[in-house]
């Protein structure tokens, strides 16, 4: 009887699908963590699977085949989403990010580039089941047992072990969410995220009213150790008063291609020349959150930390932000932005009004001419923006124009006619090579745009800022050969410091002509205060978490999406925690080498968490539009 029961059980939907899902989560853990610990996977993951499969055994026999097939399909899609998200972002996807799946169609080329043949293993059994259905070998015969009680026991066991895991790990604070998922269990981690929500700084104490601007500014400056420099003593303050501000955000631009030569050919010859007459900040840190490009726009215009686990435009799109466009509007500026993508992507249709941008040109305005990747080329964007800028110039009023690039988006595929950079043979047919070609393209079209500004008489009375929004080459998303190629370029192993390093260039004709390179630590949060200083715009009544790079040397900056919560840059190191400060890694900013001792920076770890908490509380306190 016992033997007959076990034989029947082994041929049942319950046994087969429980086993299949267990093997899939085991495979997922191997891909994510290079971890194939069988016992740990049983303890951490199996109970959640048992909840579903045991529950299905209590359903009507006719429903079981459909329920199991749907469950298997949903888990397979979830596991694929987890590994693809990890490959590109270096993080474990949560349900907040899964809500963005509607955006995938806009970046389908990038998603396709991340797919690996081995990922088909998540779906191989589904194909096999479909074949069995064709030959009428599926559904399987129902489990002929009077053992409903056993299934109830297994359901109770699944619920009990899941609840135990949930409670054991619910108060366990782990900064790195990849390690959190490994130690808590992938499915348990997702359950915890759903239950507790995205507040990542619940244990951080703040002792100031975020609604009192003067008090909050004083607290931010105290935490950062920032001394206020009177306007009359500031370098370059108001030197560009009344000038137009033109900001170019370059898609996926890291700093390492700037000044790079390959076999005697400059990747960015025009930017290199421009830098000779500009303020250049080569050590600028990327600080974006999951909103990527839209978060970079948000940071530029507010100098606030973006939300940690959701695009800021989706979380706070209904808010009214104190911003650079609103500050400049008080100085009689018109503000406008150009972006050839769909305005609904990353909720820009809500972000731009929230930032107080007066006019925005997007999507249909640029038409379908010269489409490259996800939209009309940046050459088209610059060409079609020029008549608008010309009209604003004729009004004899200053304007603030932000131009958001698209063409150098991953996977960096350009038409042959636009591939002008002569790649060395070893870089051909590589993602790194394609990336450098796309950056070279951007260098050319930006130069053409600046030359057109000169011809139109706009250039001399403008400040032109250029910066990268986020990295282009993620170590986990590129091949070992591509990692080797970037390492060859750098002369050292390609690491996190280089990946999260974007350029920031400020070109002000007649002001920055002597050229100056500032090697100090800087971040995207610092762009707005630096530009405001040049334009003579007071920030006395404005909450900013960045600082003017032309007048301050010491810095403290955080990032909490592409790095674990609590990560920071200061004047000496980039620090990345694992579970917390005690088991983190500190990289010397000058040598990129790991430091054995870093206890002296503990206070900076606590301070950056306070800054991020204050930024969150301040945004939450802002009124709606």
pLDDT in tens, 53-65: 888 877 787 787 8
Query: Among candidates 213, 304, 178, 175, which has minimal Cα distance to 606?
Result: 175
293 is in an annotated binding site: yes
User: Are residues 259 and 134 part of one domain?
Assistant: no
Q: Which helix (H) or strand (E) holds 376?
A: strand 375-376
* Per-residue pLDDT tens over the stretch 16-27: 888 899 999 999
CB 446 within 8 A of CB 407: no
CB 404 within 8 A of CB 339: yes
Average pLDDT over residues 328-348: 90
Evaluate if residue 551 carries a pLDDT over 50.
yes
Instruction: Answer yes or no: is 595 within a domain.
Output: no
Average pLDDT value over all residues in the chain: 88
Q: Report helix angle 293-302 to 348-355, nearest 10.
A: 10
Instruction: Answer yes or no: is 499 within a domain.
Output: yes
409 is in an annotated binding site: yes
Strand partners for 339: 362, 404
- Per DSSP, the three-state class of 477 is helix
User: Are residues 393 and 316 part of one domain?
Assistant: yes
User: Are residues 305 and 177 part of one domain?
Assistant: no
Q: Give the Cα separation of 325 and 359 in Å (integer).
A: 11
Average pLDDT over residues 215-226: 94
Instruction: Answer yes or no: is 530 within a domain.
Output: yes
User: Are residues 269 and 187 part of one domain?
Assistant: no
Q: Give the Cα separation of 300 and 529 in Å (integer).
A: 9
Instruction: Look at residue 1 in the predicted model and tell me its pLDDT.
Output: 44
Both tokens of residue 586? Answer: 């500190």
User: Are residues 237 and 189 part of one domain?
Assistant: no
Q: Give the Cα separation of 570 and 348 in Å (integer).
A: 32
Instruction: Answer yes or no: is 145 within a domain.
Output: yes
Number of folded domains that form the chain: 2
Instruction: Answer yes or no: is 460 within a domain.
Output: yes
**Predicted model pTM:** 0.88
Q: How confident is the model at residue 453 (pLDDT cuts 50, 70, 90)?
A: very high
Q: Give the Cα separation of 180 and 170 in Å (integer).
A: 11
606 is in an annotated binding site: no
Q: Pairing mode, if any, of strands 279-285 and 522-523? A: parallel
Instruction: Answer yes or no: is 217 within a domain.
Output: no
* Of 499, 518, 551, the domain-final residue: 551
User: Are residues 132 and 71 part of one domain?
Assistant: yes
Positions annotated as catalytic residues are 293
Considering 439-443, 588-592, 614-618, the range whose residues carry the highest mean pLDDT is 439-443
469 is in an annotated binding site: yes
Instruction: Look at residue 98 in the predicted model and tell me its pLDDT.
Output: 67
Evaluate if residue 8 carries a pLDDT over 60.
no
Instruction: Look at residue 143 in the predicted model and tell me its pLDDT.
Output: 55
Evaluate if residue 105 carries a pLDDT over 50.
no
| Residue 101 Rama label (left phi>0; alpha psi -120 to 50; beta) | alpha
* Of 502, 524, 551, the domain-final residue: 551
Query: Among candidates 58, 218, 247, which has minimal Cα distance to 153?
Result: 58
Instruction: Look at residue 6 in the predicted model and tell me its pLDDT.
Output: 46
Average pLDDT over residues 269-279: 98
Q: Give the Cα separation of 510 and 465 in Å (integer).
A: 15
Q: Give the Cα separation of 114 and 444 in Å (integer).
A: 28
* Of 170, 196, 222, the domain-final residue: 196
Evaluate if residue 432 carries a pLDDT over 90.
yes
Q: How confident is the model at residue 173 (pLDDT cuts 50, 70, 90)?
A: confident
Which CATH number goes with the domain that contains 472? 3.40.720.10
Lowest mean pLDDT among 46-50, 357-361, 541-545: 46-50
CB 523 within 8 A of CB 284: yes
Instruction: Name every residue whose Cβ is closer than 8 Å to that of residue 507 and which is 6 or more positions away in sequence.
Output: 274, 277, 278, 279, 463, 464, 465, 466
Instruction: Answer yes or no: is 560 within a domain.
Output: no
Lowest mean pLDDT among 17-26, 86-95, 214-223, 542-551: 86-95
Q: Give the Cα separation of 16 and 235 in Å (integer).
A: 71
Instruction: Answer yes or no: is 212 within a domain.
Output: no
Query: Among candidates 377, 367, 299, 375, which has minimal Cα distance to 612?
Result: 299
Average pLDDT over residues 453-471: 98
Query: Residue 40: phi, psi to the nearest 5?
Result: -60, -40
Q: Residue 427's domain spans which residues? A: 231-551
User: Are residues 358 and 273 part of one domain?
Assistant: yes
Instruction: Look at residue 104 in the predicted model and tell me its pLDDT.
Output: 47
CA max distance for the chain: 94
Instruction: Look at residue 387 in the predicted model and tell me its pLDDT.
Output: 97
User: Are residues 265 and 138 part of one domain?
Assistant: no
Q: How confident is the model at residue 373 (pLDDT cuts 50, 70, 90)?
A: confident
Lowest mean pLDDT among 74-78, 136-140, 574-578, 591-595: 136-140
Specify the residue for token string 């299905």: 56
What 8-state DSSP symbol labels residue 227?
P
User: Are residues 239 and 185 part of one domain?
Assistant: no
Query: Residue 262: phi, psi to the nearest 5?
Result: -120, 115
Average pLDDT over residues 60-88: 86
Instruction: Look at residue 248 in the predicted model and tell me its pLDDT.
Output: 99
Q: Give the Cα separation of 356 and 336 in Å (integer).
A: 10
Q: Give the Cα separation of 126 and 69 in Å (integer).
A: 8
Percent of the chain at pLDDT above 90? 60
Both tokens of residue 6? Answer: 């076990």
User: Are residues 242 and 188 part of one domain?
Assistant: no
Instruction: Look at residue 483 in the predicted model and tell me its pLDDT.
Output: 95
Average pLDDT over residues 441-469: 98
Both tokens of residue 320? Answer: 């009214």
* Per-residue pLDDT tens over the stretch 475-523: 878 889 999 999 999 999 999 999 999 999 999 999 999 999 999 999 9
Extended beta strands in 256-348, E state: 261-262, 265-266, 279-285, 334-339
* Per-residue pLDDT tens over the stretch 159-168: 777 777 777 7
Q: Give the Cα separation of 349 and 357 in Å (integer).
A: 11
Evaluate if residue 353 carries a pLDDT over 70.
yes
470 is in an annotated binding site: yes
Instruction: Look at residue 447 in the predicted model and tell me its pLDDT.
Output: 98
Instruction: Look at residue 198 in the predicted model and tell me its pLDDT.
Output: 57
Both tokens of residue 541? Answer: 């009544």
């Amino acid at each position: 009887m016992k033997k007959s029961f076990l034989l029947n059980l082994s041929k049942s939907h319950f046994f087969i699908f429980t086993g299949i899902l267990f093997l899939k989560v085991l495979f997922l853990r191997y891909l994510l963590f290079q971890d194939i610990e069988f016992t740990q996977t049983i303890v951490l993951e199996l109970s959640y699977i048992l909840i579903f499969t045991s529950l299905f055994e209590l359903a009507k026999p006719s429903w079981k085949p459909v329920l199991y097939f749907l469950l298997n399909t949903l888990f397979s899609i979830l596991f694929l989403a987890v590994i693809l998200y990890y490959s590109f972002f270096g993080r474990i996807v949560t349900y907040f990010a899964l809500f963005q799946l509607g955006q995938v169609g806009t970046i389908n080329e990038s998603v396709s580039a991340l797919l690996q043949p081995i990922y088909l293993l998540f779906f191989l059994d589904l194909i096999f089941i479909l074949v069995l259905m064709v030959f009428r070998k599926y559904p399987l015969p129902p489990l002929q047992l009077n053992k409903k009680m056993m299934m109830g026991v297994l359901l109770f066991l699944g619920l009990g072990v899941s609840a135990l895991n949930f409670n054991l790990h619910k108060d366990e604070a782990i900064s790195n969410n990849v390690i959190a998922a490994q130690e808590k269990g992938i499915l348990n981690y997702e359950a915890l995220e759903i239950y507790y929500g995205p507040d990542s700084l619940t244990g951080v104490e703040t002792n100031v009213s975020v609604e009192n601007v003067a008090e909050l500014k004083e607290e931010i400056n105290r935490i950062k150790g920032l001394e206020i420099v009177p306007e009359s003593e500031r370098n370059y303050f108001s030197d560009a008063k009344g000038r137009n501000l033109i900001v170019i955000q370059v898609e996926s631009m890291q700093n390492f291609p700037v000044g790079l030569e390959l076999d005697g050919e400059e990747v960015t010859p025009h930017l290199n020349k421009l830098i000779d007459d500009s303020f250049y900040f080569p050590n600028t840190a990327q600080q974006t959150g999951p909103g990527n490009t839209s978060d970079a726009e948000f940071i530029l215009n507010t100098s606030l930390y973006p939300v940690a686990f959701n695009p800021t435009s989706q979380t706070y799109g209904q808010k009214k932000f104190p911003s650079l466009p609103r500050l400049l509007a008080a100085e009689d500026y018109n503000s406008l932005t150009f972006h050839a993508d769909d305005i609904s992507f990353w909720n820009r249709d809500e972000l731009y009004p929230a930032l107080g941008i007066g006019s925005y040109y997007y999507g249909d305005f640029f038409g379908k001419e010269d489409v490259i990747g996800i939209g009309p080329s940046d050459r088209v964007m610059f060409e079609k923006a020029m008549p608008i800028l010309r009209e604003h110039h004729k009004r004899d009023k200053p304007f603030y124009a932000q131009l958001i690039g698209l063409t150098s988006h991953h996977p960096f595929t350009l038409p042959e006619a636009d591939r002008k950079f002569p790649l060395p043979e070893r870089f051909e047919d590589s993602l790194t090579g394609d990336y450098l070609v796309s950056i070279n393209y951007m260098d050319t079209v930006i130069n053409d745009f600046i030359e057109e500004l000169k011809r139109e008489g706009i250039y001399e009375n403008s400040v032109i800022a250029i910066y990268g929004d986020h990295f282009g080459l993620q170590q986990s998303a590129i091949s070992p050969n591509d990692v080797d190629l970037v390492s060859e370029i750098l002369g050292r192993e390609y690491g996190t410091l280089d990946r999260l390093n974007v350029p920031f260039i400020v070109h002000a004709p007649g002001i920055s002509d002597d050229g100056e390179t500032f090697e100090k630590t800087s971040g995207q949060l610092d762009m707005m205060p630096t530009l405001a200083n040049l334009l003579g715009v007071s920030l006395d009544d404005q909450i900013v978490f960045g600082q003017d790079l032309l007048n301050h040397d010491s810095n403290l900056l955080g990032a909490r999406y592409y790095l674990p919560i609590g990560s920071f840059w200061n004047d000496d190191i980039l620090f990345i925690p694992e579970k917390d400060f005690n088991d983190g890694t500190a990289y010397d900013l000058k040598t990129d080498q790991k430091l054995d001792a870093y206890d002296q920076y503990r206070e900076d770890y606590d301070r950056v968490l306070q800054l991020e908490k204050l930024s969150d509380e301040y945004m939450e306190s802002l009124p709606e539009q």
